[in-house]
Amino acid sequence: MYPSGKLNFKKISFIICIGTKRKLELDPTALSHSNFSKNQTLHSFMQKQTTRWGENTVEFKEKKAALINMIVDTNSPLSMIDQLSFRQMMNTMDPKFQVPSSAKLKQMLEEERESKTAQLKETLQKSRKVTICLDGWTKKTLSASYLGVSACFFNTMTCKPCHAFLSLITLQHPHTGEKLAECLKSALNKWGITEEKVLMVVTDNGANMIKAIRLMQEEHVEQQGAAQDNEELEEELDQVDVDDDEDSEIILSHVPYRRMACMAHTLQLVVKIAYVHYDSVIIKVRHLVGRVRKSSVAIEKLVGKCGRTVVNDCTTRWNSTYYMISRLLSIKAVINEVLAEIGL
């Protein structure tokens, strides 16, 4: 800076010319093979001389972590990193940050996954008890099914309760109790969760889920029976009637893999019982919604008049019956108008 508060551009231009002349003396072809041009401005030249952040610098690590988090949170494809527009945007935001290629970023993501996995395993090992949660999910087209396994535990390091998603396992039909038990054992072994650490297993009231936990209990009894006397434990297990009295298993506090029925699933069953009093109305609503959804003309007119259409309910989608009725009531006037126009 000079006393006037402004840069002396004449001196800067002179220094740049000397540097360019020196470069041409060392390599006469440098001018033709470089990015120099007759129309190059001082600003563009100074930008090209920007020094990149080193990979070991704090600035580079922070920006790399932010980039990885963005990819993970948005589930964006890695190919986006190689797009010219994306790299130009990143260069505009910070010219000193060298955006890694998609192949390099894939390697970084794998390293990040291994690091987070190791941290979670360590946290699970330090926790005293873990509650395992199981639930299945099937695509609407029935083309694929999955079993989700998660863990709830108290983090002794942060003194806060935690809920961690452990595994998402592809299920092959049929979804028998034996297959579910194998998937659960595989997930527990992967994360190093022993039977002694499992406080309980929370599942829905499906017969295959109940059977899967029952099989794991029986297998544990058989394994322990070879080492110690488990007659008393087997007696208590025999008294559990999973078909008629699921609440009796709550008193078996020391039974391995003790199952607890999910309260949300149980509440949903109670709601379905209440539907019995409105069966006639709900059946009419489903019939009307089905007729409208089969007519492309009706759908087009509905969207054109109010920007919305009717929705169907599904027995395995919670609250879907409520959403179906609520939508029908909200666009009742428009539906009557459309039905009159098309003669349904």
Give the pLDDT confidence of 315-340 residue by residue, as tens digits: 777 888 999 999 999 999 999 999 99
Helix (H, G, I), strand (E, B) or coil at 167: strand
Q: Can the peptide bond before residue 3 be classed as cis, meaning omega within 30 degrees of 0?
A: no
C-alpha separations of 218 from 94, 167, 236, 246 in Å: 60, 24, 11, 16
pLDDT attached to residue 265: 85
pLDDT at 266: 86
What pLDDT is stored for residue 163 in this prediction? 93
**Among candidate residues 266, 281, 327, the one with its CA nearest the CA of residue 302:** 327
Kindly report the length of the chain: 344
Sort 336 into a burial class: Cβ within 10 Å, 0-12 / 13-18 / 19+.
Answer: exposed
What is the per-residue pLDDT for 16?
57
**What pLDDT is attached to residue 252?**
44
User: What's residue 33's pLDDT?
Assistant: 46
pLDDT of residue 20: 54
Rounded Cα gap, residues 318 and 166, in angstroms: 24
Instruction: Give the whole-angstrom CA distance, residue 67 versus residue 186.
Output: 32
Q: What share of the chain is helix, strand, coil (3-state, %, to 5)?
A: 60, 10, 30
pLDDT of residue 242: 46
pLDDT value, residue 13:
58
- In DSSP terms, 259 is beta-bridged to 201
Q: Supply the pLDDT for residue 1.
A: 45
* Cα–chain center distance at 165: 9
Q: Which residues of the chain have pLDDT under 70?
A: 1-50, 225-254
Give the number of other CB atoms < 10 A from CB of residue 271: 12
